[in-house]
Structure 1
Amino acid sequence: MSRSAENSGTIEVRKAHRFDTARLEEWMRNEVADFEGPLSIVQFKGGQSNPTYRLDTPHRSYVMRRKPPGKLLPGAHAVDREYRVISALHAQNFPVARPLGLCTDSDVIGTEFYVMDMVEGRIFWEASLPEVPAGARWSYFDAMNATIASLHAFDPFAIGLGEYGKPGNYFERQIGRWSKQYLNDAEAGRVAAMDRLVEWLPANIPPGEDEARIIHGDYRCDNMIFHPTEPRIIAVLDWELSTLGHPLADFAYHLMMYRMPTGITAGLAGLDLAAQGIPSERDYVAAYCARTGRAGIPHLDFYIAFNMFRLAAIIHGIKGRLARGTASSAHAEKTVAGLEGLADLAWAQAVKAGA
């Protein structure tokens, strides 16, 4: 089954993620402007972290994201942070769903949650965009490139997000955070390549001035909604990993698609990009640099090694949640199966960077 078939659409709410619908409807009646029930609720198939639901009424539809129930790692699944960043970005006309309400009272449905508009459009689960004609794919890639460049152009202090994260020393702090999470999740076990990266990455952070911008943290094709018929992004989704950080780290995470095989996640490695109508990695980097006023991206291999390590640490966390019975997706086992291959690929990028 393709990633698109596995993740697209909705299902009946999973048993572990059910809650008191009447309590949610009462909350929405009090907190969401112009809400009129009754509610009909299904769960989106995709996603590994925060359970996401489609809420339908006779007149309109909403989306709810919540913390998963059960034992959680400290600081994870911060839906209040997601709500804060999309609220600030929506005010700047950046493409996000309109936020409608945040509930930090876990007594309502068992965990914190927020509600936003339902945005109708196209989600692509494969980076090669097989649903798009080859002659149109360049425009879709250019839309992704332009949107992340526009995100990195915001001054966090100017839009009320100056305290959204700790400015400076981004790589040091992130490597420390994900290393700690990896090492402390005993239920998920250890991976040899991850152990090597835990040692190598902090000792090889590139020198130079650090930057602090709003970064998405998981910017990839399946975390954005495109216009139903146009090569235009109308909503960027899943801001759980957003913070203040180095924009080149964020862009390099997005750029990983060029070096990732399709068997691990949405990747382009091994494809004839020109025949597919997809810009090369070099051209894609050049477009981002032109939009952001950069001459180039030195140390790109390090940035990609770091991001592959970070993604592997996230998947390692999914493995731990699977062991604890709190994974949010029915496809968690398949995702976890690619962990060692991804860690090996991350080490290969470190070798390219001089390891």
Structure 2
Amino acid sequence: MVYGETDQPAEPSAPAGIDIERVTGWFAENVPAAEPPLRFELITGGRSNLTYRVYGRSGGRWVLRRPPTGHVLASAHDVVREFRILDLLAGGPVPVPPVLGCCTDHAVTGADFYVMEHVDGVVPDIGTAAGIPRGSRAAASRNIVDTLAAVHAVDTSTGPLAEQRRPGSYLERQLRRWHRQLTAGGVGPGPLWEVHDLLTRRMPPERWTGIAHGDFRPGNLLIGPDGTVRAVLDWELWTVGDVMADIGWLTAAWTSAEPFGWAPDPAEGYLDIDAVLARYAGTTGRALDDLPYYQAFALWRLAAIAEGVAARFRAGVMGEQDIDVADLSERPARLAESARAVLLG
């Protein structure tokens, strides 16, 4: 996925989830530089909230985020909360796209949405990673780690972020939350529940609390040609919690190309996972001895997320995308078994 594309669609179009007339009216009031007529293009590849490029007549570009169409769990697609964390982080050491406005009037296009400035760069995946020059890939690896360390260094002890701290450990809350969602989704006995029980019994104590992005990986970053991380994207799962969960997730994403669609390959110039973890530990001073648990938790949580993704695609609420729904339906069990293997060593 490349947010920095410059070609515009040839004709105005109305992808699923966008009421062109009413959204254009909202832009006129909130984004004065957006000269109509506006053009909207669904950025495919997303698995949760829907993301669109918005083009103005005079060449301006923006990005709009909204939940999937149809009935969804509001807590899992809270774009207003995503807008707020981007607004809180603006101008600080964590690179985020500048946000321009948030709309909670469902009469405009059927759901909450927010708009941010367009940031040029590459979101690396199997089709776009070649856009990062080979000579910049080691630097990109280092900058990815340093960016995560910056996220985890944000002070959550005072102000609005302190209000997001909740009783109990992050892992306890997550396991309860996904238990509820899997139960509501009608998931029957099998690997998802078996690994859930293993994770519950082996849970380590929470040692470091800060902003947990929830989905921090190369595929949610905009990277410049020099390897600089220009923006951290997709904050819908963020919370104040156990930052080790982000390390487990990044480790899983860095070493598991199949479920994530793409992973940095040392043979292609990226740092290997040992170097990535050493840099994080050296930058933050944190020991990573519980890492296998957090990696297993990441794979299991990805399995739970994959269960919801498959259900949304089966229900047809993710727009027109070329997706193998049968493969999506089989993925949760595969991921749960991978999590079991990591957890049991």
Q: TM-score with structure 2 length normalisation? A: 0.89
Q: For 2:220 and 2:169, how far apart are their aligned partners in 1?
A: 27
Structure 1 position 310 matched with structure 2 position 336: no
Aligned partner letter, 1:71 = H
1:111 Cα offset (Å): 0.7
Residue in 2 aligned with 1:204?
202
Q: For 1:144 and 1:318, how far apart are their aligned partners in 2?
A: 26
Structure 1 position 223 matched with structure 2 position 227: no
Q: Deviations over 1:51-78 (max 9, x none)?
A: 1111111231111001222111241210
The 3-state SS of whatever aligns with 1:156 is coil
Q: Select between 24-33 and 108-117 the one with higher mean Cα deviation.
A: 24-33
Q: For 2:140 and 2:128, how far apart are their aligned partners in 1?
A: 10
Q: For 2:209 and 2:33, how far apart are their aligned partners in 1?
A: 38
Structure 1 position 259 matched with structure 2 position 255: yes
Aligned partner letter, 2:232 = V
The 3-state SS of whatever aligns with 2:163 is coil
Residue in 2 aligned with 1:350?
343
Aligned partner letter, 1:346 = A
Structure 1 position 44 matched with structure 2 position 75: no
Distance of aligned partners of 1:27 and 1:267 in 2 relative to their CA distance in 1, 3 Å threshold: closer
Distance of aligned partners of 1:134 and 1:155 in 2 relative to their CA distance in 1, 3 Å threshold: same
2:274 to 282, 289, 307: 282
Residue in 1 aligned with 2:92?
92
1:83 Cα offset (Å): 0.1
Aligned partner letter, 1:280 = D
1:166 Cα offset (Å): 1.9
Residue in 1 aligned with 2:191?
193
2:210 to 209, 213, 225: 213
| Equivalent residues in 2 for 1:25-174, closer than 5 Å | 25-59=24-58, 60-126=60-126, 129-158=129-158, 160-166=160-166, 168-174=168-174
Q: Deviations over 1:80-112 (max 9, x none)?
A: 010000001113242111000000111111111
- Aligned alpha-carbon RMSD (Å): 2.7
Q: How many residues align?
A: 338
CA contact (8 A) 1:167 1:212 kept: no
The 3-state SS of whatever aligns with 2:227 is coil
Residue in 2 aligned with 1:292?
284
Q: Deviations over 1:216-273 (max 9, x none)?
A: 111111111112x21101111111111111111112101113431x33224559x6x3
Identical positions, percent: 31
Q: TM-score with structure 1 length normalisation? A: 0.86
Aligned partner letter, 1:278 = Y
Q: Deviations over 1:261-318 (max 9, x none)?
A: x33224559x6x3x43332322211100111122x21111111111111111001011
The 3-state SS of whatever aligns with 2:116 is strand
1:178 Cα offset (Å): 1.1
Q: Deviations over 1:186-235 (max 9, x none)?
A: 2xx4462212112111111113x5432111111111111112x2110111
Structure 2: stretches of 5+ with no match in the other structure: none
CA contact (8 A) 1:305 1:350 kept: yes
1:38 Cα offset (Å): 2.3
Q: For 1:255 and 1:73, how far apart are their aligned partners in 2?
A: 28
1:249 to 229, 245, 250: 245
| Equivalent residues in 2 for 1:167-186, closer than 5 Å | 168-186=168-186
Distance of aligned partners of 1:39 and 1:135 in 2 relative to their CA distance in 1, 3 Å threshold: closer
Aligned partner letter, 2:310 = K
